[in-house]
Amino acid sequence: MQAAELLPAPAQVPPESVDLSVDIGRGLTLPNPILAASGPFGYGVEYAELVDLHRLGGICCRGTTLKPRLGNPGPRFVETPAGLLHAIGLQNPGVDAVIARYAETWASWTAPVVVNVAARSVRDFVEIARRLDGVPGVAAIELNLSCPNVDAGGSLFAADSSAAAEVTAAVRRATDLPLVVKLSPNVTEIRPIARAVAAAGADAVSAINAVAGVAIAQVAGGPSLLGDATGGLSGPAVKPIALRIVSEIVASVKIPVIAIGGVTSLADVLDFLAVGAVAVGVGSAVFADPGLPVRLVESLAETCGTQGMTSYRGLIRTAGARALPRPRGASA
């Protein structure tokens, strides 16, 4: 019953002719805007048999630290309503082992691999970036700023504009790799932080990382908190939060924004594009459905084609606050 529905149907475009490519900057072009978000997809290799990896827009590998980390003791997961609370604790074999084990395989893929990097000091961030710089198979770096900064009393890099800018600028100097900076939703105001990392040389911003949460795990001996006391909440439950953060970031920076948070369907992808993201990462949803990201690529192309669009870019930033008159009434 909407006005648009009265217009004659536009000519269809074959899905394979729809331009889905995304320019992230600094020479990195994603074949399409659907990425596997960091963590749930591991290093990609684990899903090589199950999933057509070359159909993906990109793969963000799990968090990589300078030295190996064993992670947190279990339980590492609690399912919560429409969400998942995890406290993995960044278990990983360290950057050298990651390069040694996976880079060669990555280099053989068409989907670019973005190495997600975590550290507790600017120095370590820089050192990891240096080791990744120039490694074939590493297409970009994603800085996970949801890490405590030991040089600032343990507050998160992502929580503070100047810390976020400092680490971004330092890594920027250390590598020519495209640099995506991943922001945390656990802040009072995301806008100044987004502006600071953009000004410090980030090529793109990704958000959101998981929302800080706690669950009670019923373990022998009485109730206990999950893992490291605080875990990370992800999944459909956090999508409205992600949508808010992404729209705030889009409104404050000009660099591309990769939206992450609770994507499980094409409708979610369209929502994130509508608020201005240029690409979308799928995290927790791959647990239930590893094939989802590839299917999203296909259905995005089909949707564009059906609507006669030759590029998905017409879907970006189509949402605005309603034009209805603001309510009158005394301010409180």
Partner 1 sequence: MTTVLAAAELVDRREILPGQWLQSYHAPGLASGSRAGQYVQLVPGATAGTILRSPFAINTADAATGIVTLHFRVSRQPTAWLAGLRPGDRIDLAGPLGRPFEVDPRGRHLLLVAGGLGIAGLRMLADEAVRAGRQVTLLFGARSAREVYPSSLLPDEVEYIVATEDGSLGHHGRVVDLAPDYEAWADQAFACGPKAMLAAVAVLAAGRRGRLGVATLGRKRGAGKIDPVGSPAARRKAFLQVAIEQDFGCAAGTCLGCVVMGASGTPLRACREGPVFAATEIDWERG
Ligand X SMILES: Cc1cc2nc3c(=O)[nH]c(=O)nc-3n(C[C@H](O)[C@H](O)[C@H](O)COP(=O)(O)O)c2cc1C
HSE toward the beta carbon, residue 291, CA cutoff 13 A: 5
Distances in whole angstroms, Cα of residue 45 to Cα of each of 53, 93, 97, 109: 9, 15, 15, 10
Closest CA to 202 of 219, 180, 185: 180
Catalytic-labelled residue, pool 60, 61, 147, 304: 147
- Per CB under 6 A, the list member of 15, 80, 91, 170 interacting with ligand FAD is 80
* Pairwise CA distance, residues 32 & 20, whole Å: 5
For this structure, is 147 an active site residue? yes
Which of ligand X, partner 1, ligand FAD, none does residue 209 bind (CB under 5 to 8 Å by kind)?
ligand X
Which residues inside 230-269 make contact with partner 1, applying CB under 8 A? 235-236
- Specify the length of the chain in residues: 332
> Does the protein bind its own copies through residue 153 (CB under 8 A)?
no
Amino acid at 191: R
**Structure tokens belonging to residue 147:** 């890490």
188: CB partners within 8 A, 6+ apart: none
Peptide bond into 75 cis (omega under 30): yes
Residues 22, 59, 78, 278: which binds ligand FAD (CB under 6 A)? Answer: 78
Q: Which is nearer to ligand X, 208 or 226 (CB)?
A: 208
Stretch that binds partner 1, among 95-103, 104-112, 129-137, 284-292 (CB under 8 A): 284-292
Both tokens of 276, joined, read 């201005």
Q: Mask 95-114, x = binds its own copies (CB under 8 A)? A: --------------------
Closest CA to 180 of 19, 21, 30, 20: 30
Q: Which single residue brings its beta carbon nearest to ligand FAD?
A: 79
Estimate the crossing angle of helix 239-250 against helix 191-199, to 10 degrees.
50
Q: Cβ of residue 57: shortest distance to ligand FAD, in angstroms?
A: 22
Q: Catalytic amino acids?
A: 147
- List residues binding ligand X (CB under 6 A): 37-40, 62-63, 84, 86, 88, 116, 144, 182, 208-210, 234-235, 238, 260-263, 282-285
- List residues binding partner 1 (CB under 8 A): 1-2, 5-6, 39-43, 46-47, 50, 62, 70-71, 73-79, 82-84, 86, 88, 91, 220, 235-236, 284-290, 324-325, 328
